[in-house]
Structure 1
Amino acid sequence: MIKGFKEFIMRGNVVDLAIAVVIGAAFGKVVDTFVSGIVTPLISAAGKPGAAGLGFDLKSGDTPPGGVDPTFINLSTIINAIIVFLLTALVVYAIFVAPMNKFNARREAKKAAQRKAAGIPEPVSPPSELDLLTEIRDLLVKQDKI
């Protein structure tokens, strides 16, 4: 039972799901704060004075007092979302995915070494469709049926 549970947990899908939940809940907030605190001011500095950020107005007019022009297309929020996504994906890959792939490769190498030590031959993968079709074509050519 414990062995079965261990195999279930070590399956890629369960680990990937756990990673997604942890990253979505905890790390997303950190990256969002970083982007809104550092990147947003830099992007907004490229916009025109008095604007909500980098973007453009659909209709020229004065901004209402104490508010944001409802026709202003704020591109800085889109850029921020892209940066948040890329930073989150980079950290997830560097901290979780790459080490997990390395761990799985080591585990497979260990299993292969154990099979070799026990004298069990490597499992032979079945031929691909292309290999089978090539073989059929060659047999038909031999029989002059093409």
Structure 2
Amino acid sequence: MSKTKLYEDLHDRMTQAKNSQYYLESCWIAYGIIEDRLNSTIRHAYDRGEELLETMRGMQRKIDHIKDKIHPNDHDCVKTVHKYLLGEIEDWKDRRNDLMHDIAEVASFEEVQSKTRSLSREGVDLADDIANRVRKYKGKARNRIN
């Protein structure tokens, strides 16, 4: 299966899960898609981006790296993968992670559904936003090389 086909399948599954009120699944997939798009940003920002990614674990390290290392020197990245968007992703990630750690501590499944409903909607929107922006950034990065 190609990477593009897998991404399309995951995106469809994320949206279907949200629409079917499987908010936990939708959040989980959104997290994976967002992290994959952060990986793609790093991969295309550096000649040896793949090697750099091997040293990074976790979404936060990737967000920090993009904010601190790429943005100051890469005007294409600044124009497409805005720090504001990275901040929104960071906030969403933290709220999602907090809920995942505390999920068995909430009072009821209805409370879980309530909390994950908004996280799911926001996660899908963020995944779509960063996917579109990274697609544009990859094009600009390729044009710099050619």
* TM-score where L is the length of structure 1: 0.30
The structure with higher relative contact order (CA 8 Å, sep 6+) is 2
Q: Which has the higher helix share?
A: 2
Structure of greater Rg = 1
* TM-score where L is the length of structure 2: 0.30
